[in-house]
């Protein structure tokens, strides 16, 4: 199992302090896929509500979190209205990027305010953020990767042209066990294995180079099957006739993170309000449809060392939000 330690620290911005921290929308309506062609209760499954709930949770890693009742919620300031990704710095500090400015914001959850800002680039569509070996990495949507030497002001910055075969890149996270960064493209043009597949790429931290070809692929068909097997709702959208509804799981990755205990890969699809987990080989291990009223535009995900999850949502006309969700299986 992969364990990442996170320690609390002060507000000093230096390579050493960052290392100490590191180690310290379309509207969707929930429906069960199996209920689309049935008018019976519980999606036509024949299960009682209690049995349906038990089946949904059994063997579903995503439901180890109570998305309806987060442990903590923080409305974020206007500067983070377009928040696009997050990374845990300490028990009380979270690094954030937003998709309009080349700035890393440090949000202090105890003080409930932005405690620092570190500029690293001019304007751009910045979508991914993670920390590795006391360095910060920021991903621009066109595939340009920024490496910041630290969180101190005026850090040295190295850039890498990834030349990914997709136009929009949004998800970025550390896969410490394999000494690499994982990159999740949002666009989903057809791959060699068909248009149903969602490839995940990797940036080798030792070679500072993109690994050739995807390191894992998720099947949208497998995600649908997992949801149906667990009697879980999938997104529905209005058909072109403007009257009837149909199941519509597009699954366009917007954020990615590796669970520090189980090693599972968690991926958010903001357009669907869907969270999926999988093994490092791409086998689906979890699925949840998030409430669009609570998670208006979920674009960022990160983990604390104990398995607790952070999700950030853009404002989308209201307040941007950061929530912490307790991992029910954490080891005490």
Other CB atoms within a 10 A radius of the CB of residue 324 amount to 17
pLDDT at 331: 54
pLDDT at 194: 64
Question: Of the candidates 322, 83, 303, 284, which has an alpha carbon nearest to the alpha carbon of residue 175?
Answer: 303
Tens digits of residue pLDDT in 78-137: 999 999 999 999 999 999 999 999 999 999 999 999 999 999 999 899 999 999 999 999
Q: What is the pTM of this model?
A: 0.84
Q: Which residue has the tokens 């302090």?
A: 17
pLDDT at 190: 55
Using 50 as the pLDDT threshold, list the residues of the chain that sit under it.
1-17, 19-45, 332
Identify the structural domains of the chain with CATH numbers, from first to last: 15-24+26-325 (2.120.10.30)
Which of helix, strand or coil describes residue 233? Answer: strand
pLDDT at 20: 43
Q: Report the alpha-carbon distance of residue 62 to residue 31 in Å, rounded.
A: 18
pLDDT at 244: 65
């Amino acid at each position: 199992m992969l364990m990442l330690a996170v320690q609390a620290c002060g507000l000093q911005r230096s390579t050493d302090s960052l290392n100490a921290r590191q180690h310290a929308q379309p509207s969707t309506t929930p429906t069960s896929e199996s209920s689309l062609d049935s008018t019976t209760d519980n999606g036509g499954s024949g299960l009682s509500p209690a049995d349906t709930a038990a089946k949904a949770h059994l063997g579903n890693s995503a439901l180890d979190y109570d998305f309806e009742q987060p442990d903590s919620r923080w409305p974020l300031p206007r500067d983070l209205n377009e928040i696009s990704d997050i990374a845990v710095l300490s028990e009380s500090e979270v690094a954030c990027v937003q998709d309009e400015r080349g700035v890393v914001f440090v949000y202090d959850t105890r003080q409930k305010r932005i405690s620092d800002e570190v500029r690293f680039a001019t304007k751009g569509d910045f979508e991914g953020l993670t920390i590795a070996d006391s360095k910060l990495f920021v991903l621009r949507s066109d595939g340009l990767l920024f490496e910041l030497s630290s969180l101190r002001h005026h850090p040295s910055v190295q850039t890498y042209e990834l030349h990914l075969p997709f136009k929009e890149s949004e998800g970025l996270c550390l896969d410490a066990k394999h000494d690499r960064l994982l990159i999740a493209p949002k666009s989903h043009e057809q791959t060699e294995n068909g248009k149903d597949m969602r490839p995940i790429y990797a940036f080798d931290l030792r070679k500072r180079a993109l690994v050739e070809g995807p390191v894992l692929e998720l099947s949208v068909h497998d995600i649908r099957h997992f949801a149906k097997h667990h009697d879980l709702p999938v997104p529905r959208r209005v058909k072109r006739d403007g009257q009837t509804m149909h199941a519509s799981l597009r699954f366009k990755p917007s954020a990615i993170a590796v669970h520090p205990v189980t090693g599972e890969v968690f991926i958010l699809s903001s357009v669907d309000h869907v969270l999926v987990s999988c093994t490092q080989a791409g086998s689906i291990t979890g699925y949840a449809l998030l409430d669009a009223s609570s998670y208006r535009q979920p674009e960022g995900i990160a983990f604390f060392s104990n398995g607790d999850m952070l999700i950030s949502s853009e404002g989308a006309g209201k307040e941007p939000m950061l929530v912490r969700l307790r991992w029910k299986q954490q080891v005490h």
